[in-house]
A and B are shown apart, each in its own frame.
Chain A
Amino acid sequence: MNSTKVLDAKGMACPMPIVKTKKAMKELETGDILEIHATDKGAKGDLKAWAKSGGHELLKSDEDNDILKFWIQKG
């Protein structure tokens, strides 16, 4: 997938992955894709819910060797 930007939130505990995602998203344009890497298991449910409440779309999520990856398109 063509990510506009990759955010490394590995090793961060809640709430930081979302705080950083929100900040990174602000700097993107509508339609851009932010790729997020995180290790906090809570990010799974929270990013999904956050994207929904913010009008963004979670395009895909993946798990690779304990690293959670998310692709969110700015709405």
Chain B
Amino acid sequence: MTVNPMTAQQVTQKIVNNEPLFILDVRNEDAFQDWKIEGKKVTYLNIPYFDLLDGVEEILDQLPADREILVVCAKEGSSVMVAEMLSEEGKDVFYLQGGMKSWSEYLEPVKVADLNNGGELFQFVRIGKGCLSYMVVSNGEAAIIDATRMIDIYTSFAEGKGAKIIHAFDTHLHADHISGGRKLARQTGAAYWLPPKDAGEVTYSYVPLEDNEIVKVGNEEIIIHALYTPGHTIGSTSFVIDDQYLLSGDILFIDSIGRPDLAGKAEDWVQDLRETLYSRYKELSENLIVLPAHFMSMDELNSDGTIAAKLGTLISNNHGLNVKNDAEFRRIVTENLPPQPNAYQEIRKTNMGIISPDEEQQREMEIGPNRCAVR
């Protein structure tokens, strides 16, 4: 029977559309437990490929007949081997093209909104890692916020829109993924903006992003208003776009809040985080649509594929915005935190320009989920 590739894009479509999918994940158990493809209608079997070298007969009765079967491994090789063995046993199967490596690197562009004066706002969903980046396009110009290192996706998307990228912003110094902001700026001539309080140790030049900075994109039509909101990092900055959209970086997520410990200063930054969430954000209009820099679970995905919610909704529903007592808040964000993102210290150093790993090393460093939140 047949063996066919399935791309990360095709898997993403199935997840967004809530289609059933059976995943035979042949990575080792630790890798599977740590990080996997998730979706509301995804079911799994995890058997390492090295336990299947002598044959797949033993697992045949564990494979469903009523849905597509996708074999997944780290880089593709082992999934192809297992898929071929299953095919010889009479099964129709798919393998994930490029493995979890491609899954980690795939970005799905989703339109969030038409802006005033003809602009557009897009969210780029890095579904495998839960990272979100944004592009504002207006009248031949584009700005990108929290770019991933896969910058070709943004440059070709902007080109398709007939826009030149003129600004690349990072809301903060990232610890879970390698920023593409600097590379994007080098390649396109765009300005690279970073909050100066997060840039104390950086080795390159950048444009300092200060509180209340106003940047215009496309013939002064779209206004990006920077709002200093420390807590996840000391420099963390949010943006209000077009008076309607709040890009909250790693401070506020849909169902969780940012963790203050990834730069090793949880105790120092707890109060900043509390003030940002409980004072600065609560002074803003509840009608703002919050667009975070991460999501943690597929439950946060809206039916149109975006990750977005009204600030007012989060103020009522997000547990992290509803902790009455200071001491309790301090305890939640400093104790029993989830494990830190893979290689987060190396990732921070890369984003500071202190180390320069090659592409393969960058890929390895980014393996796994983002883990920037506490719930």
Chain A residues with CB under 8 Å of chain B are 13-16, 18-19, 22, 41-42, 45-46, 48-50, 53
Stretch at the interface among B44-52, B135-143, B231-239: B44-52
A and B contact pairs by CB, cutoff 8 A, 15 listed: A14-B49, A14-B74, A15-B77, A15-B81, A18-B49, A19-B53, A22-B50, A42-B74, A45-B30, A45-B31, A49-B28, A49-B29, A49-B48, A53-B50, A53-B51
Residues of B within 8 A of A16 (CB): 77
CA distance A53 to B53 in the complex (A): 13
Closest to B48 in A: A49
Residues of B within 8 A of A14 (CB): 49, 73-75, 77-78
B364 near A18: Cβ-Cβ < 8 Å: no
Residues of B within 8 A of A22 (CB): 50, 53
Residues of B within 8 A of A49 (CB): 28-30, 48, 50
Ranked nearest first, the 4 interchain pairs of A and B with the lowest CB-CB distance are A49-B28, A15-B78, A50-B50, A18-B50
Q: A41-B364, A42-B74, A42-B75 are in contact. Are A15 and B49 (CB under 8 A)?
A: yes
Count: A-B pairs, CB below 8 Å: 42
Min CB distance B95 to A, Å, is 13
CA distance A50 to B74 in the complex (A): 15
CA distance A46 to B27 in the complex (A): 8
Residues of A within 8 A of B51 (CB): 53
Residues of A within 8 A of B75 (CB): 13-14, 42
Residues of A within 8 A of B74 (CB): 14, 42
CA distance A51 to B49 in the complex (A): 13
Chain B residues with CB under 8 Å of chain A are 28-31, 48-51, 53, 73-75, 77-78, 81, 364
CA distance A60 to B77 in the complex (A): 26
Residues of A within 8 A of B81 (CB): 15
Residues of B within 8 A of A13 (CB): 75, 77
CA distance A21 to B78 in the complex (A): 15
Closest to B73 in A: A14
CA distance A19 to B81 in the complex (A): 11
CA distance A50 to B54 in the complex (A): 13
Min CB distance B365 to A, Å, is 11
Residues of B within 8 A of A19 (CB): 53
CA distance A22 to B74 in the complex (A): 20
CA distance A16 to B48 in the complex (A): 14
Residues of A within 8 A of B53 (CB): 15, 18-19, 22
Min CB distance B59 to A, Å, is 15
Q: Known contacts A15-B78, A18-B53, A48-B28; can you find 15 more A-B pairs with CB under 8 A?
A: A14-B49, A14-B73, A14-B77, A15-B49, A15-B53, A15-B81, A22-B53, A45-B28, A45-B30, A46-B50, A49-B28, A49-B48, A50-B48, A50-B50, A53-B48
Residues of B within 8 A of A53 (CB): 48, 50-51
CA distance A53 to B81 in the complex (A): 20
Residues of B within 8 A of A41 (CB): 364
Min CB distance B282 to A, Å, is 45
Residues of A within 8 A of B73 (CB): 14
Of A41, A42, A45, chain B has the most CB atoms within 10 Å of the CB of A42
CA distance A14 to B74 in the complex (A): 9
CA distance A45 to B28 in the complex (A): 7
Closest to A13 in B: B77
CA distance A37 to B48 in the complex (A): 21
Min CB distance A67 to B, Å, is 15
CA distance A50 to B29 in the complex (A): 10
Residues of B within 8 A of A48 (CB): 28
CA distance A49 to B53 in the complex (A): 14
CA distance A16 to B81 in the complex (A): 10
Closest to A48 in B: B28
CA distance A67 to B287 in the complex (A): 55
Min CB distance B176 to A, Å, is 19
CA distance A53 to B48 in the complex (A): 10
Min CB distance B172 to A, Å, is 29
CA distance A13 to B79 in the complex (A): 12
CA distance A7 to B28 in the complex (A): 22
Residues of A within 8 A of B78 (CB): 14-15
